[in-house]
A and B are shown apart, each in its own frame.
Chain A
Amino acid sequence: MVSTVTTSLADVASSDAALRAFLHGLPGVDRVGADQRAAMLGTRSIKTTAKAQAIDLAISMVDLTTLEGADTAGKVRAMCTKAVRPGGGAPKVAAVCVYPDLVAVAVEALRGAGAGAGVKVASVATAFPSGRSSLDVKVGETAAAVAAGADEIDMVIDRGAFLSGHYMKVFEEIVAVKAACGAAHLKVILETGELATYDNVRRASWLAMLAGADFIKTSTGKVSPAATPPVTLVMLEAVRDFREATGRQVGVKPAGGIRTTKDAIKNLVLVHETAGDDWLTPEWFRLGASSLLNDLLMQRQKLATGRYAGPDYFTLD
């Protein structure tokens, strides 16, 4: 769609002015229209076999998350056990997501779980959630998390720099963190609730992808609004267009505010009808959440047995 991209892509990140010209040259996003499209897709009725398929797919895409000041090794171990065995024969989740100092605990716990193979360890780094620290600190934190065994790094962008038009600063930070990631996958959190406009969401998505993001992620979960359907829609359009322009596929992770099976399925519908089924795997789409998993498990059991079980029949880890 953005046909001018391929030729000029190499030069795009040469200066603030060049980046600005490129990002502001992307087609705009009409808020009313984007809201309307997301709302319409929210009316899709996913029932019976499609619902069963969607629930298992959603479970396999969950980044099971705990990001509290009160997190402990015990809490993280318990969550890792749940990540591998959600219960009722449900598939394991995609990853656990923890603060950097608890990465080693998670790695250990998943290794101990035996069947843990395949559940990745993701860690938020770069002075999460505000990102207000020096680049050295951010890079150091990233390197430490990777050294402790993190498979994926969820970084935050410098929203202050982005909103004040210092696109190069944002770009260079992503490049530096990406370098510190080594083989680990980099998810770039845009914190769309602070970017405020859909135009900004589209620009920040492209900026992150140009800088080397493997995934773009909506939110930290610490700011409201977080992953609203229209924001996810705009980001899915961005990865779709980016692949068309460059050939490189980038994943999407809505995070924050996705609490129910209905929310999760709406996200899958957005993927299916926007970026397409190429993104409908845990490799390319994740759901960042904590309480969502139990609702998915509850709906899964309801679908299989026709009855709702009480909350005590689902584990709380």
Chain B
Amino acid sequence: MMAIFEYAPAPESRDIVDIKPSYGLFVNGEFVDGSGTPFKTVNPATEETLAEVATASPDDVDRAVQAARKAFGVWGALPGAERAKYLFRIARIIQERARELAVLESLDNGKPIRESRDVDVPLVAAHFFYYAGWADKLEYAGFGRRTTNGHSGTKPLGVAGQVIPWNFPLLMLAWKIAPALACGNTVVLKPAETTPLTALLFADICRQADLPPGVVNIVTGAGETGAAVVSHPDVDKVAFTGSTEVGRIIARAVAGTDKKLTLELGGKAANIVFEDAAIDQAVEGIVNGIFFNQGHVCCAGSRLLVQESVQEELLASLKRRLATLRVGDPLDKNTDVGAINSAEQLAKIRELSEIGESEGAERWSPACELPERGFWFPPTVFTGVAQSHTIARDEIFGPVLSVLTFRTPAEAVEKANNTPYGLSAGIWTEKGSRILWMADRLRAGVVWANTFNKFDPASPFGGYKESGYGREGGLHGLEAYLDV
């Protein structure tokens, strides 16, 4: 009898995806060349080049904005029910091409196929379905009804310039494009330079759905392209998800203009475990909080606040559980933790982890073999962390957990809120009244109770303080795209 049960490799086939050697920009319904120097996008799990992608110059961006402006005349004037038809069609095509999108997302981003298949892509389709449903009901969203005296609560803003990050490339695209289109705006979207491919596949889906040309424009490139998008004078609305550092630059660029702005930035969330928590599920929540998507999650539960009375048993359970995490090939269906998205991000995670060690926190990782090529970092836990440690303050944006302790609920709140960020928080207790007491006091846009990293298109998402402003998702998410 074999004593050990080893899972054989179970790779998802990449044959379903047809990656072209090079990609242009998607402007006015057509793929066109960019005038900037093209860049390469790589598979972070292998460092293999996947494709060459065009860089949009400021002139290219201008053409995209002009196309969006022209299309706005048509799109913004369509009855909501007509816009909904396109959005429903896009949602259905996303479902039909789900496997293709999931494989491409995992290839370009490094995230496990289990997550792109079971979380990212289903949520993307759900977002389009959700906002398709709003398109003809905007007058009932609570922002005012169209009246005969000229007041309109449902007017779109115009052209939206949107810049999205590399951690959830397609999902962040959906968060941006679905509400914008439902409200009657047109968009110019710039995906991150390390993960442009699913956005370009989405462009193909727009064509498949017969979306009028210019309603969605995708411009690829690095920071300069993004800067050209947000600072373009004919853009009415800017939406950005990414680092707080870049968010500040954008806020400065937009200041003094008529542009509306929403920012969804960094986080350093506290995941708070009380002594009466359901320990096994809390452990799962901690794992899901910080190791989901390699910790490349702005709302990641990167600070574990555990009540001192259960610290020992909780950490023992957590470490035992982490030893079962399967780190490796993102396309293997049994992989739990994939590759770090880029060499640059890996360097940042390494640097902060070294600072954690040099400042005296205790570092631990389960035994795990990392592939030789590609960008990899083992799941890592720092214990003995205090609020004054750098790794308790700075967003690491990687699979690194900082463990702190507390004695009382009041102290838990104090430590949880003692951060410049305020995007999310988690509470683990079997006591319902304590959940409510805590949720009232936590300064975070999302508070999860006995769960973590749960997303739904009907639920608004956004931050306090340096985590940004404005809300995406749900009814609240409409407001950012309406002239209210």
Q: Which residues of A contact B (CB under 8 A)?
A: 1-3, 27-30, 32-34, 36-37, 43-51, 53-54, 57, 60, 237, 268, 271-273, 277, 280-282
Find chain A residues with CB under 8 A from B3 CB: 277, 280-281
**Partner pick for A28 among B5, B276, B317, CB 8 A cutoff:** B276
Q: Mark B1-42, 1 if CB is under 8 A from A, else 0.
A: 111111111100000000000000000000000000000000
Residues of B in contact, count (CB < 8 Å): 30
Asked whether B1 lies within 8 Å of A57 as measured between CB atoms, the reply is yes
Asked whether B284 lies within 8 Å of A37 as measured between CB atoms, the reply is yes
Complex: chain B residue closest to A34, CB-CB: B281
Asked whether A277 lies within 8 Å of B4 as measured between CB atoms, the reply is yes
Asked whether A32 lies within 8 Å of B451 as measured between CB atoms, the reply is yes
Secondary structure type dominating chain B contacts:
loop
Q: Which of B1, B3, B4 has the most CB of A within 10 A?
A: B1
Find chain B residues with CB under 8 A from A49 CB: 8
Q: Is B217 an interface residue (CB 8 A)?
A: no
Asked whether A36 lies within 8 Å of B284 as measured between CB atoms, the reply is yes
Asked whether B324 lies within 8 Å of A273 as measured between CB atoms, the reply is yes
In the complex, what distance in Å separates the CA atom of A48 from the CA atom of B451? 35
In the complex, what distance in Å separates the CA atom of A156 from the CA atom of B278? 27
Known: A1-B316, A30-B278, A33-B284. A46 touches B8 (CB 8 A): yes
Asked whether A33 lies within 8 Å of B1 as measured between CB atoms, the reply is no
Find chain B residues with CB under 8 A from A60 CB: 1
A73 CB, min distance to chain B CBs, angstroms = 32
Chain A to chain B: the 7 pairs with minimum beta-carbon distance, closest first: A33-B281, A45-B10, A45-B333, A50-B8, A30-B278, A30-B281, A27-B279
Asked whether A281 lies within 8 Å of B1 as measured between CB atoms, the reply is yes
Q: Which residues of B contact A (CB under 8 A)?
A: 1-10, 114, 118, 276-281, 284-285, 312-313, 316-317, 324, 333-334, 430, 450-451
In the complex, what distance in Å separates the CA atom of A145 from the CA atom of B120? 55
Known: A51-B8, A268-B5, A277-B5. A3 touches B284 (CB 8 A): no
Known: A29-B280, A44-B7. A1 touches B1 (CB 8 A): no
B12 CB, min distance to chain A CBs, angstroms = 9
Secondary structure type dominating chain A contacts:
helix
Find chain A residues with CB under 8 A from B6 CB: 50, 53
Find chain B residues with CB under 8 A from A29 CB: 278, 280-281
Complex: chain A residue closest to B323, CB-CB: A276
Complex: chain A residue closest to B6, CB-CB: A50
Find chain B residues with CB under 8 A from A1 CB: 279, 313, 316-317
In the complex, what distance in Å separates the CA atom of A9 from the CA atom of B203? 64
In the complex, what distance in Å separates the CA atom of A46 from the CA atom of B334? 9
10 residue pairs A–B, Cβ–Cβ below 8 Å: A1-B316, A3-B313, A29-B280, A30-B450, A33-B280, A33-B281, A34-B281, A37-B280, A43-B118, A46-B8
Asked whether B7 lies within 8 Å of A46 as measured between CB atoms, the reply is yes
Known: A33-B451, A45-B333. A28 touches B7 (CB 8 A): no
Find chain A residues with CB under 8 A from B4 CB: 277, 280
Q: A1-B313, A34-B281, A50-B8 are in contact. List 19 more A-B contacts (CB 8 A).
A: A1-B279, A1-B317, A2-B313, A28-B276, A28-B430, A29-B280, A30-B430, A32-B281, A32-B450, A36-B284, A37-B280, A43-B118, A45-B334, A46-B7, A48-B8, A50-B5, A53-B6, A54-B5, A277-B4
